[in-house]
Amino acid sequence: MSQESIQTDILARLDTHGSIDDTAILPYASDLILGVLNSLLSKEILTYTAIKGEKWVLTSEGQEVASGGSPEVALFNLIPSDAGLAVADAQEQMGEKAKVAMSNAMSKKWLKKQGDQLLRAVDSVTDQVQADLIKIKETGAFGDARVLQDYKRRKLCSAEKITSYSVQKGERFTTNVQKEATEITAEMLRTGEWKGQTFKKYNFNAAGVQVRGGHLHPLMKVREEFRQIFFELGFEEMPTNQFVESSFWNFDALFQPQQHPARDMHDTFFLKDPAVAGEMPKDYVERVKHVHSKGGYGSIGYGYDWKYSEAEKLILRTHTTAVSSYMLYKLAQEARANKEFRPVKYFSIDRVFRNETVDATHLAEFHQIEGVIADRGATLGDLIGILYNFFRKLGIEKLRFKPAYNPYTEPSLEIFSWHTGFKKWVEIGNSGMFRPEMLRPLGLPEDVSVIAWGLSLERPTMIKYSIDNIRELLGHKVDLEMVMTNPICRLDKKMGREI
Amino acid sequence: MPTVNVFKDVLFKALGREYSTEEFEELCFEYGIELEDETSEQEMVKKEQGEEKAKGKSNRGIYRIDVPANRYDLLCAEGLSRALKVYVGNAKPPVYKLVQPAGGKVQKITVLPETAQIRPHLVCAVLRGITFDQDTYDSFIELQDKLHNNICRKRTLVAIGTHDLDTLQGPFTYEALAPKDIKFVPLNQTKQMNAEELMTFYESDRKLSKFLHIIRDSPVYPVIYDSNRTVLSLPPIINSNHSKITLETKNVFIECTATDITKARVVLNTIVAMFSQYCAEPFAVEPVEIATPNSTSTHRTPDISSRAVEATVGYINKSIGIHITADEVVKYLAKMSLNATLSSSRKSVTVSVPITRSDILHACDVMEDVAIAYGFNKIAKTVPRSITVGAPFPLNKLADFVRRELALSGYTEVLPLILCSHDENYEWLRRTDNGEAVKLANPQTIEFQVVRTSLIQGVLKTISSNKAVALPIKVFEVSDVVFKDESRERKSRNQRNMCVVFASKTSAFETVHGILDRIMAMLNVKLVSPDAAQDGYFIRESDNPTYFPGRCAEVVHKGVSIGHLGIVHPEVLQKFEVPFPCTALEINIEPFL
């Protein structure tokens, strides 16, 4: 039945009778009637009040009895009028219904029991239950409430709440309802029809239509914020598109001794193919070897037997500082060629690799953010100053620095920030001044110092977007819905979902 | 970072007063160590072995403190409390000295040439008239464990043996013999065994089994004997039971065998610096005379002379960015247990670096100690003077343009991992291994066997774990793949690719073709006819096993193939467990730089 024909029917009845006392008499489903009433109500064509009521309906078991009769009558009819029926036979023939049939028939004193035999106790029976249920089905009600409760207990019928309506004419009652438009169409504009058209009321509480556009990954949104901060501070992005590194650039060039635990098989991915690097800058390699094994530039060195075979091993870079060391080498080459040193500020945000056991906070891959400044006479105070500038742009004002150890920086400072949620200082990054044993072999002038800091991209992102498992952020197991629904990143603003 | 357990009462006694947890945390922070936990033996046992086992254990307060990996002098309670005591101004650092034994005859040990084959270096020392109690004895054993685990690199570089000298008779010899010829009762055992049997015996030992490999396959094993052919130790595995240290031991013979002589010296110096405190004459160490094979003369160990490192006051001030006087430099260094003297011009200081500070290699280490004592958080904040110009890496800038266009075209960015299994990179994509991928030597799982040579597998994996998302799934990635490249120093190169996958109820070649056209239009690259030799791009039918036959094209730019697009082959989808048709595009974007 279409909405339109229901509407026509209702308006016709109102026109004829002035009102409809109870819509229960209409042969339409209650929800369809309501839809029509609401639509006409909004146009003030009618008003209505709801009538709450109850209707009894048969359960599927009740339906069976109504159509096929009650089990107790079926049982009675199974028993021959002149002989008994074994209980076991009754059970076999009636299946699971035998039990309820026996109990009902016995309580109605239709049967008696002799040993294991059931015998008729009366000559004939009438199926009152079936008759009652048929009546309930037809009228939705029954006179005797106790009987209804009994059938309800036997799960033959149940009460259902129903709503019907009493309907009156409204102020603008008419049987000729104009169709409301929801949208303005090009046709209306062309014909001028919009002038006489009535428009459907808009529900301003409903949600807008969901947008299915494209989306950038939250981690990349945070990366972009960090890049902007570096650009604002005058930093140049380093070419970090080289995942494979030699141990030399990744470790040796950074004055990291060859027996250092970070160079263990447990922490670093070594390569099987290709396994060793090609020719590295010979003079520089010599200088690095010397500073490790014998010292120089005012250092006593580590005093161990430095091996080329260890340095030439290829690995996946464990930090982007491998790129920084190469960039500083190139800077020193440039300074030598131009006979003039050029101060630089470099940064990078890119993937690094660690041969670690994967858990909620560790992946074999993550992104490292790194800032490097090489300048004549750069100081520890400059490092601390630039870190305040950098972190202020992230909305972090309170910093504290703890002395730490790192083979290639001296001094080394762990960066802590005050976490207002945890009410304690939390580590947010590492920083330091590169050691002379790293800088001088590169060929940088003696008065050039290099200050640097680093942090992971994932950690601030997880804090910003309230993600507690790194695997939900990076890798193929991420939920695309997460990518689609996470807001833009504003590092200097509270997003309201920070951990 | 190693963690050291120190009794709170011992520490507070050294510091001269009690500290609240907050106060002590603050002190640690300034000094550069970290209070990890406040606990007791009872609590630690409870945590590891349960409440039952913890009953009756001591509840004496313990601080668990993380110390920097290069400060071996902080690896025991003795060193840690000594350093902090000096830092708070409660004491002066000790002065270590060498003393001759009462009779004037020092212990002597001869190194035989065969040891060169397996563990060539040896340094020794004697501590006289020592008094142990349970705490200090435990600390002595613990320090050796800590050193073994850190600087000694699990005994590979250096192994320490400590012995009750009164059970032995010098002179000693350091030899290397065939395993069968070395017989002794190992520490805490009762049965004598030869070194071969010993190796088998300790195979199942949780602690020692991991050291066996260091010498196991060598034809000769290192061993130390006294003049009665009593075995002292079989380094780096185990000492003999005969010369075992007990609470009653008075005179301790220390030997460190090594493959790295510098580290052996540091280890020996650390032990004598820490435990000579308990000698009859505190901080006095007795040397041992060592005769080496290739030298007619002998030398004595340990060398406890301090080393001079000079730093100018100007360098220190300029590096840190502060302005303090020469006297202040000396005062701050004293706080850090470093004794410094001013030059006559008062322009520089000479630090006599004690044996405990092997971490000081250069004047910059002295500068750092001044900065720590001054207080990192008191240094005035400045900014670097030079003006520099910010700039993006051009390839990243290009990639970001492409990423933005893809997102504007209704695609969602995904970020799978760069490492993948060999199967994912080859077999599952119906490709054969042509040897172009970089392969890992030591991955912990098969998930990470190669560095990807294409992006598509990661994108398909992402779709596979997002099957519940409403179709169509439109995703992309712009990132690096890696190829072997013999011509380069690092024998490989990254390449920036772009990959788009459209997954829906039907395949959609035209849709993905449209994305290619859109990106090319945005990059201002013109569609050209395949016949014309023009700057531009076109696509032509191609065979690529990853894609369905007859529904695959290669993208040609300036006459060079830069990638493919097509309907992903059903067998590929099956491998990646993607139950709906996918159409994909993957190209190299570097030509558009």
pLDDT of B533: 66
* pLDDT reading at B54 higher than 70: yes
For residues B9-20, average pLDDT: 92
Q: Tell me the three state secondary structure of residue A7.
A: helix
In angstroms, the CA A227 to CA B560 distance is 33
The complex's ipTM works out to 0.90
> Distances in Å between the alpha carbon of B275 and those of A175, A372, B13, B239, B280?
107, 43, 18, 20, 11
Condensed to tens digits (0 to 9), the pLDDT of residues A337-362 reads 999 999 999 999 999 999 988 888 88
DSSP state of A148: H
Predicted confidence at residue A150, as pLDDT, reads 85
Mean pLDDT, range B348-354, rounded to an integer: 95
Nearest Cα to B439, choosing from A316, A319, A263?
A316
Contact A259 B491 (CB under 8 A): no
Distance of CA A154 to the CA centre of its chain: 47
Phi-psi region of B56 (alpha: psi -120 to 50; beta: other; left: phi over 0): left
pLDDT at A28: 86
CA-CA-CA-CA torsion sign (B418, B421, B427, B431): positive
Contact yes or no for A243/A317 (Cβ under 8 A): yes
Query: Using CA atoms, how far apart are residues A81 and B460, in angstroms rounded to an integer?
Result: 76
pLDDT for res A137: 85
Instruction: State whether the Cα torsion A221-A225-A231-A232 is positive or negative.
Output: positive
C-alpha closest to that of B399 among A458, A316, A223, A218:
A223
pLDDT in tens, A209-221: 777 789 999 999 9
pLDDT at position B450: 97
Distance from CA of B32 to the nearest CA of A (A): 4
Classify residue A363 as left (phi > 0), alpha (psi -120 to 50) or beta. Answer: beta
Retrieve residue A288's tokens.
């690095």
Say yes or no to pLDDT of A1 above 80.
no
- Confirm if B313 and B347 have CB atoms less than 8 A apart: yes
Chain B closest-CA separation from residue A466 CA (Å): 18
> B465 at the A interface (CB within 8 A)?
yes
Higher-pLDDT residue of A109 and A373 is: A373
State the average pLDDT for chain A: 89
- Rounded CA-CA distance A253/A311 in Å is 9
Classify each residue of A62-99 as buried b or exposed e, where b means 16 or more C-beta atoms within 10 Å of its C-beta: bebbbeebbbbbbbbeebeeeebbeeebbeeebeebbe
pLDDT in tens, A8-51: 889 899 899 888 888 888 888 888 888 888 888 888 889 999 88
Q: What pLDDT shows up at residue B506?
A: 93
A-chain residues near B418 (CB < 8 A) = 243, 351, 353, 365
In 10 A of CB A198, how many CB atoms?
11
Tell me, what's the pLDDT at A56?
85
pLDDT in tens, A429-478: 999 999 999 999 999 999 999 999 999 999 888 887 888 888 889 999 99
The pairing of beta strand B473-484 with beta strand B412-413: parallel
Judged by CB atoms closer than 8 Å, whether chains meet at A234 and B462 is answered as no
Check CB contact under 8 Å for A389 and B383.
yes
| Residues within 8 A of A (CB atoms), B 166-225 only | none
In this structure, are residues B13 and B86 in contact, taking their beta carbons and an 8 Å threshold?
Answer: no
B472 upstream amide cis, omega within 30 of 0: yes
Which residues neighbour B104 within 8 Å (Cβ) at sequence distance 6 or greater? none
Q: Is the pLDDT of residue B137 over 80?
A: yes
Angle formed at CA A321 by CA B379 and CA B439, multiple of 5 degrees: 160
Average pLDDT over residues B334-359: 94
Instruction: Please state the rounded mean pLDDT for residues B68-81.
Output: 93
For residue B194, which amino acid is it?
N
Task: Give yes or no for a contact between B41 and B59, defined as CB atoms under 8 angstroms apart.
Answer: yes
Q: Where are the beta strands (DSSP E) in A328-408?
A: 344-353, 365-376, 399-406
Is B593 an 8 Å CB contact of chain A? no
Whether A269 sits inside 8 A of B363 (CB atoms) is no
Residue B12 C-beta-side C-alpha neighbours within 13 Å? 13
Whole-number Å distance between alpha carbons of A128 and A130? 5
Structure tokens at A231: 């650009």
Q: How far is A210 from chain B (nearest CA, A)?
A: 13
Chain B: closest CA distance from residue A146 (Å): 51
Cα separation of B523 and B557, whole Å? 12
- Residue B350, chain A, CB below 8 Å: the answer is no
Find chain A residues with C-beta within 8 A of B461's C-beta. 476
Residue B481 scores a pLDDT above 90: yes
Torsion, Cα of A242, A245, A251, A254 (10° steps): -40
- C-alpha gyration radius of chain B: 34
Average pLDDT of the residues of chain B = 94
User: Can you tell me the mean pLDDT for B304-316?
Assistant: 94
Least confident of A487-491, B86-90, B416-420, B566-570: A487-491
pLDDT of residue A497: 65
Please tell me if residue B71 touches chain A, with a CB cutoff of 8 Å: yes
Q: Using pLDDT thresholds of 50, 70 and 90, give the confidence band for residue A499.
A: low
For residue A388, list chain B residues with Cβ-Cβ distance below 8 A. 381
Q: Which residues contact B170 (CB under 8 A, 6 or more apart)?
A: B107, B108, B109, B226, B227
Q: Does residue A490 surpass a pLDDT of 80? A: no
- Flag whether pLDDT at A80 surpasses 90: no
pLDDT at A482 over 90: no
Q: How far is CA B157 from CA B122, B148, B214, B344, in A?
A: 11, 9, 10, 42
CA-to-CA distance for B424 and B419, rounded, in angstroms? 10
Strand order in the sheet with B61-66: B3-7, B61-66, B34-40
* CB-CB neighbours of A172 under 10 Å: 11
Whether residue B94 has pLDDT greater than 70: yes
Q: Is A347 helix (H, G, I), strand (E, B) or coil?
A: strand
DSSP 8-state secondary structure symbol assigned to residue B437: S
Mean pLDDT over B89-117 rounds to 92
- Min Cα separation B234/chain A (Å): 23
pLDDT band at residue B397, thresholds of 50, 70 and 90? very high
CA distance A74 to A70: 6
- Whether residue A248 contacts residue B491, with contact meaning beta carbons closer than 8 Å, is answered with no
Mean pLDDT, range B252-271, rounded to an integer: 95
Q: How far is CA B58 from CA B41, B55, B62, B78, B164, in A?
A: 6, 9, 10, 20, 29
